[in-house]
Structure 1
């Protein structure tokens, strides 16, 4: 095994973070070199990074990650939450935006809704699977196993924000949405994984629904300050929703919470990692 592969094997999370950004930001590097224009983050970057890292961990770890990706049978009610919650949150911020002066969607704009399911399927493959196969199917189980909820959140929330930084710098993603939205979404995802029946696929479905109903639908109906305000509200409401996920645990403090057990199926349990360092 080469020295580089051994380094990746000893520090899987750190290697994953570096590779996810390297692959995810590749289009910006090419544009800087004069190849292409209007670059965006490559959503398959985190999945590609997870593939490289698990390959360095050995065949057993790679197959375990592959089995995790194929496992879509999970809690049905969490799938309902993953589809329904982002839709409700978007409808809520559209209504709130109207209170502050933004126009409500017109009948013609809402008439484009049949395109949303098609967009959802595309987002599920490119964004839901591309990103969450890395953040949630690979990194989150390992971090939850080693460090628990807050340790995993302390690593993954900043990493998500960092990965989206180019979008914030180019103005394609509002800064508040990039910071609070990503952090809030990460906490929600970790909480869903820790629920009984929770799985990485719930994060993939939520992420795809969020993008299909958000950036590709409701966000196209407003412009200028109204669109900026919508992005601000989305970031704030995700932060609030994330905080609300903590309420049940606070109410049950001092009692056993069988539903808050970590997800039993983890890639980390199948990996041979010599040291616990990131």
Structure 2
């Protein structure tokens, strides 16, 4: 019988998926036995899962993973774009929602804006870095190198959606955002990683900006049907943005060799190097031999 470490080495992506869900959903298990109420996903779950899987590959792999996490290859202008682009999308969605009947934010509501930078920093550390250190820094380079863009999307988008499903079941997240917005953002994150080698932190900054300006600020200013429509608009906009980004990627001519641009210093977790066969499946996506 294979040891747990050997199984992780042989099936790194499946092990990552299982551990990301196990860690991310741990608060629900604790609540079920009376420890805590109103639980939500633990955003550090994917990062912890990546750390465990990388540690099982050996010290060299752990050092390589650490170097990858310290690679911030993008220019300051791109980081500014990762902050501003989600903000502009949120503001546009608010105005569209107003045209459909929702009230505009009041002066009193907008007066809480000094809290947004503090929220952004908290979201960057807990949600942005916590999630994207797993999805984008660890799993995405491996999958892009082996499967290309579409293959990586076919694995990571369903996994990201599955990971957020407890939030849907507990009413913390609409199904439309869990599916459409996460799928659209997954395309954007993969393309940012491809076009800017090693800059996984762009996805982390974008993710934090979405939460800080949207969910906890602008979107908290409406309730009832207006909020439901706002959530649906957000989901549709991100699905459209992801589709448009993919079309532009193909039009640029870089879609012919989708895995070539990713050369991050990540551990080689291929079955040959790990001493295993091929990786099984997880969350409905085939990740055989990633």
TM-score (norm 1): 0.93
**Counterparts of 2:136 and 2:125, CA distance in 1:** 15
Q: Is the 8 A contact 1:188 1:245 kept in 2?
A: yes
**Counterparts of 1:170 and 1:259, CA distance in 2:** 37
1:257 positional shift: 7.5
The aligned residue for residue 158 of structure 1 is 158
Q: Is the 8 A contact 1:180 1:238 kept in 2?
A: yes
Task: Extract structure 1 runs of 4+ deviating beyond 6 A.
Answer: 255-260
1:269 positional shift: 4.2
Q: Is residue 273 of structure 1 aligned with residue 263 of structure 2? A: no
The aligned residue for residue 189 of structure 2 is 189
**Counterparts of 2:153 and 2:176, CA distance in 1:** 18
Structure 2 residue matching 1:101: 3-state secondary structure: coil
Structure 2 residue matching 1:81: 3-state secondary structure: helix
Q: Is the 8 A contact 1:79 1:205 kept in 2?
A: yes
**Counterparts of 2:168 and 2:88, CA distance in 1:** 25
1:246 positional shift: 1.9
Q: Is the 8 A contact 1:181 1:235 kept in 2?
A: yes
Structure 1 pair 256–153 and aligned structure 2 pair: CA distance change class (3 A): closer
Count of paired positions: 277
Cα-to-partner distance string for 1:218-275 (whole Å, 9 max, x where unaligned): 111011111111111111000000011123234345x898998422214144874335
**Counterparts of 1:259 and 1:81, CA distance in 2:** 23
The aligned residue for residue 283 of structure 2 is none
**Counterparts of 2:204 and 2:85, CA distance in 1:** 13
Unaligned stretches of 5+ residues in structure 2: 280-286
The aligned residue for residue 264 of structure 1 is 263
- Superposition pairs for residues 100-179 of structure 1, below 5 Å? 100-179=100-179
Q: Is the 8 A contact 2:15 2:53 kept in 1?
A: yes
Unaligned stretches of 5+ residues in structure 1: none
Cα RMSD after superposing both structures: 2.1
Q: Is the 8 A contact 1:180 1:235 kept in 2?
A: yes
The aligned residue for residue 88 of structure 1 is 88
Q: Is the 8 A contact 1:185 1:239 kept in 2?
A: yes
**Counterparts of 1:186 and 1:273, CA distance in 2:** 27
